Structures are given as structure tokens and as C-alpha cells.
Amino acid sequence: MNSWSFPSQSPTDTRRLGELIGTNAQPGTVISLVGNLGAGKTQLSAAIAAGLGIDPAEVSSPTFMLIQEYEGRLPLFHFDTYRLKDIHEFEDLGVEEYFYGDGVCLVEWGDRFPELLPPDLLRIAIDICGETERQFELTSSGPFSDQLLDTLRAEN
């Protein structure tokens, strides 16, 4: 377990963090995004998509779809658990297939059903510090996510 704080003063800083993550994501990378409404989970997701070569304008909160798929350097699967009633509804989406596959998975509100997420993942908690200030706290939880976090820190 390893952590790294990234202060963001503006959406531009957040875009830079997301693109850094998207550029360095690997097949099997799973990222849990945690933070209140309007924290920036979707903004960060769009920037991660951009780093994977996907048009960020296509990325929005997967409100009705629950899962959105995009084709980039790697396939990207974007989940939002906010509207799921219970863990069974999440399980019924077939999430394990995605989490243990070769794409990149982003899970907004990832702390709602932590039992279904892989143990080795990158957790990104976002704190709202001001109108345009955000604090991103990135934490890894196993060798695979540790390596990604080390790369992000080094490349920043």
C-alpha cells in the first residue's frame, strides 16, 4: 500500500492528472473513484479516456447505461454505481468479467460495493477544497496498482 497526493487548482490540472493516468494504464487496471457529487470523478474519467486516445467529449456519467464502453489504446469500461439499488444489481452487470479482463475499468462511487472490486486496485479519493480546488489522494492496494502509482509519481 502506497499513496500519493495530487493537488489540483483547476480543471486543467485535473485533466493533466487524468491524461497521465490514461497514458500509463495497463490491461487490467481498475480504478475506484470516490468523492461527493461534483467532486470531479467524471471530469477525471474523461481525462483518463483522453490519455487512452478516446475523445473525452464522449465521456459523461453513465447515468442510464450503468456501464459505458469506449475503444481506445485499450478498451475502457466506465461504471457508475450511484444508482444501483444493491450489490446484486452490480453483480448482475457481470462486473467480474470486466475487472479481471484486459481493459481499463473506472468505477465512480467505487466505495459503495467494495466487496466486488478486485483487491489490487487504484483508489482515487477526491476532496473539494474550494470552487476550483480539489485534492486527489491516490492509494494502491497491491503489487499491480503499486507499480502504476510509482509510474505516475515518477512521470508527473
**Residue from 17, 46, 49, 1 nearest 135 by CA:** 17
Give me the least distance between CB of 50 and Mg ion, in Å please. Answer: 16
Distance from C-alpha of 108 to C-alpha of 5, rounded to nearest angstrom: 19
Cα-only R_g, the chain: 14
Q: Using the rule CB under 6 A, is 40 a contact of ligand ATP?
A: yes
Give me the least distance between CB of 38 and ligand ATP, in Å please. Answer: 5
Q: Using the rule CB under 6 A, is 18 a contact of ligand ATP?
A: no
> Measured on CA atoms in the order 80, 122, 49, 75, is the torsion positive or negative?
negative
Reading the block at residue 123, the C-alpha cell is 483508489
Q: Based on CB atoms, which residue is closest to Mg ion, 61 or 147?
A: 61
Give me the least distance between CB of 47 and ligand ATP, in Å please. Answer: 9
Which chain residues interact with ligand ATP by CB under 6 A? 8, 10-11, 13-14, 35, 37-43, 61, 108, 132, 134
